[in-house]
Structure 1
Amino acid sequence: MGGSSPCASCKLLRRRCAKDCIFAPYFPPDDPHKFAIVHKVFGASNVNKMLQELPVHQRADAVSSLVYEANARMRDPVYGCVGAISYLQSQVSQLQMQLAVAHAEILCYQMQQEESLAPPPPPPHHHHHQQQVVEIDDKHFLLQNSLAGMPQFTKFTSSSSFNVVQEPLKRESLWT
């Protein structure tokens, strides 16, 4: 860096910043926290080795990753960014399940509306009973009961600890 101020790395490490300092392009003097946290988590010599092993065009991305991971490690020393990723994957999974349930409920409401607009079915000669299971995901499914042509839907939740009817999607159900 010559006569200008040393990069954040050299300033923190209290050394002279050479013209060809590997840290200077990625740790400017006006952002000392960026290097401080990376140094605290990974160590300056490890970061130096990592940067030297990478082609120049990949170093900026590597530094961004190191800064991100160092910040994540400060918040969660055990899991780092993997903890954040796991949490977000869990949220995505829950939201996908809620979306599937909402789609199933919309389908049920649409079918109910179609039934109310359609002419009544002819009286059955005999009562036949059919069940159809529509799986939403590995924990939720709909049980469609067709008794004399009238579909009835009930949403179930299955888990290893219990099996209960969680929410009927239509007032009528198989058990009433």
Structure 2
Amino acid sequence: MKDSGRRVGGGGSSSPCAACKLLRRRCSQDCVFAPYFPAEEPHKFANVHKVFGASNVNKMLQELPELHRGDAVSSMVYEANARVRDPVYGCVGTISSLQQQIDVLQTQLALAQAEVVRLRLRLSASSI
């Protein structure tokens, strides 16, 4: 987990995490967002909040064991950024595009392999 840059311990003022700053609330020591949305990266939470909503993100994180929360946040950030770029398809559009590229490249590979076989046959036939 990344350090959120907040001062831990009692008393004194602390810098709120990106989520609490955007939501304009006090960031407590047990803030579920702080380890994953540091103050230095406000854009991460902004997109996640825009796509999923703070309440839903909070619920999702609360329901997960701590060891899986980092991966969940990474997935939410990736999906939120994809949704901001492509509001209709999000990640599915990216996956579809990549799948089409794979299909084209597999076809090209099969054609190249067939050409190699054809050239080998021609070479072996001419050496007989």
- TM-score higher than 0.5 here? yes
Match of 2:39 among 4, 25, 29: 29
Aligned to 1:95: 105
Aligned to 2:49: 39
* Alpha-carbon offset, residue 4 of structure 1: 2.1
String of CA shifts for 1:40-66, please: whole Å, max 9, x gaps. 111101100111111111111000000
CA separation in 2, counterparts of 1:112 and 1:82? 45
CA separation in 1, counterparts of 2:56 and 2:94? 24
Alignment map for 1:13-162 (pairs within 5 Å): 13-118=23-128
Q: TM-score with structure 2 length normalisation?
A: 0.88
* Alpha-carbon offset, residue 86 of structure 1: 1.1
* Alpha-carbon offset, residue 68 of structure 1: 0.1
Match of 2:17 among 3, 7, 30: 7
Greater RCO, CA 8 A, separation 6+: 2
Aligned to 2:3: none
CA separation in 2, counterparts of 1:103 and 1:32? 49
- Report the residue type matching 2:67 in the other structure: H
CA separation in 2, counterparts of 1:21 and 1:60? 14
Name the structure where strand makes up a greater proportion of residues.
1
* Alpha-carbon offset, residue 88 of structure 1: 0.6
Unaligned runs of 5+ in 1: 119-176
Secondary structure of 2:87 counterpart? coil
RMSD value over aligned CA atoms?
1.0
| % identity of equivalent residues | 68
Q: TM-score with structure 1 length normalisation?
A: 0.65
Unaligned runs of 5+ in 2: 1-5
